[in-house]
């Protein structure tokens, strides 16, 4: 089996990214991917691009529906130019309450909307790269105006690849049909990736507009590890809690059902309805923990992290859902 490229995730303050990405590049890490939570990922990636020369950088993920296609196109184009063509644009839909109540943006038909969003991005970038007229008219988005003053001009090497985050069958098929890659959710087992995700993506790919084009599968992998027994114990508690949180969310029920753990969702969802969030981790037994996370001291975790999705995913990104110093992820991938 082919070993995947190992990447690390960044969740912190953009002010802290430069030193980390420089160290990651020095160690030969495949890529650094920034999530969108409390900070704008494009700001962090701009700083990362300016500090490095070789390492791939990307969003994992940026929230597509929080922005218009034009807004995303501009931000991604600038980072692609600053990085010399090293950007991967990873996009996710988020869920309706965040889009409508946090971002005050429209929500409808997320899979068809995402497919059109990607098409709009490519139409905008085509206009900039080849000075072509912009005339995109869809069901959700329309972009028909591009005066020269607002055209940033071409980039050597062209636009970045687009990866889509997906969990459900419709979005998985959409990723296969229109994107250049897939970013799997962290609630992921090897069997679910092999038996459900990849066949669904492949079906979408075979009948889609990008059939025959290269496609990358990137797996986010939860890891509970530490340099001491005490750190490992804290990490295990944090990962159990995170799995419990994911289990409480209806969108992730199919992943649990694949393993016959439907009851786990019902129990976790009931706890959240009672505002008993701190108890979610107690529902996650050792079998569930082992299915969804790499667990062990740094040496054993490093070996399993490398092998867990070998032969199925081309890239694996660290997911460390507990307080840990940034160097733990670098030590886990053990690059350089």
pLDDT band at residue 2, thresholds of 50, 70 and 90?
A: confident
* CA–CA distance, 30 with 55 (Å, rounded to integer): 6
The H or E element containing residue 238 is: helix 229-247
Nearest to 182 by CA among 223, 149, 215: 215
Taking only the tens place, the pLDDT of each residue in 291-303 is 999 999 999 999 9
Domain with CATH 3.20.20.30 in the chain: 5-226+296-333
Predicted confidence at residue 212, as pLDDT, reads 87
pLDDT, tens digit, 9 for 90 and up, residues 79-131: 999 999 999 999 999 989 999 999 999 999 999 999 999 999 999 999 999 99
At residue 230, what are phi and psi to the nearest 5 degrees? -65, -45
Rounded to whole angstroms, the Cα distance separating 100 from 123 reads 26
Which residue has tokens 């740094």? 298
Architecture per CATH, domain 5-226+296-333, reads as Alpha-Beta Barrel (3.20)
- For the cut 80, the answer to whether the pLDDT of residue 56 exceeds it is yes
Q: Which residues contact 104 (CB under 8 A, 6 or more apart)?
A: none
Residue 269 has φ and ψ, to the nearest 5°, of -65, -40
In whole angstroms, give the CA distance from residue 97 to residue 103.
Answer: 9
- The pLDDT tens digits of the residues spanning 40-55 come to 999 999 999 999 999 9
For the record, the structure tokens of 69 come out as 């296609």
CA distance 78 to 290: 41
Would strands 62-63 and 87-92 be described as parallel, antiparallel, or unpaired?
parallel
Per DSSP, the residues of 160-193 read: PPEEEEE-SHHHHHHHHHH-SEEEE-SS--HHHI
Per-residue tokens: 66: 């929080």
Provide the pLDDT for residue 335.
59
CA distance 232 to 234: 5
Please indicate, yes or no, whether the overall pTM of this predicted structure exceeds 0.85: yes
Report whether 183 contacts 90 (CB < 8 A): yes
| Cα-based angle 229, 233, 237 (whole degrees, multiple of 5) | 170
């Amino acid at each position: 089996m082919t070993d995947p490229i190992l990447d690390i995730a960044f969740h912190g303050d953009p002010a802290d990214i430069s030193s980390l990405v420089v160290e990651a590049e020095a160690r030969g890490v495949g890529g650094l991917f920034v999530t969108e939570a409390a900070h704008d990922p494009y700001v962090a990636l701009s700083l990362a691009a300016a500090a490095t020369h070789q390492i791939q950088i990307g969003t994992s993920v940026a929230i597509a529906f929080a922005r218009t296609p034009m807004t995303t196109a501009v931000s991604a184009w600038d980072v692609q130019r600053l990085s010399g063509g090293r950007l991967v644009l990873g996009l996710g839909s988020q869920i309706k309450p965040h889009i409508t109540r946090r971002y005050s943006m429209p929500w409808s038909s997320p899979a068809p909307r995402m497919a059109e969003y990607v098409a709009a991005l490519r139409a905008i970038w085509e206009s900039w790269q080849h000075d072509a007229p912009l005339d995109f008219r869809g069901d959700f988005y329309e972009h028909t105006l591009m005066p020269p003053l607002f055209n940033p001009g071409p980039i050597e090497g062209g636009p970045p690849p687009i990866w889509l985050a997906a969990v459900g069958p419709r979005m998985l098929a959409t990723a296969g049909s229109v994107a250049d890659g897939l970013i799997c959710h962290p609630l992921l087992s090897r069997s679910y990736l092999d038996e459900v995700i990849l066949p669904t993506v492949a079906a979408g790919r075979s009948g889609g507009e990008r059939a025959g084009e290269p496609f990358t599968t990137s797996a986010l992998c939860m890891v509970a590890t530490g340099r001491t027994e005490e750190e490992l114990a804290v990490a295990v508690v944090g990962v159990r809690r995170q799995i419990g949180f994911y289990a409480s969310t209806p969108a992730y029920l199919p992943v649990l059902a694949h393993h016959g753990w439907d009851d786990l969702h019902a129990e976790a969802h009931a706890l959240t309805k009672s505002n008993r969030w701190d108890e979610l981790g107690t529902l996650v037994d050792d079998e569930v923990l082992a299915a969804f996370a790499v667990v062990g001291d740094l040496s054993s975790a490093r070996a399993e992290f490398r092998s867990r999705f070998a032969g199925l995913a081309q890239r694996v990104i660290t997911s460390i859902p507990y307080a840990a110093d940034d160097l733990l992820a670098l030590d886990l991938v053990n690059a350089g």
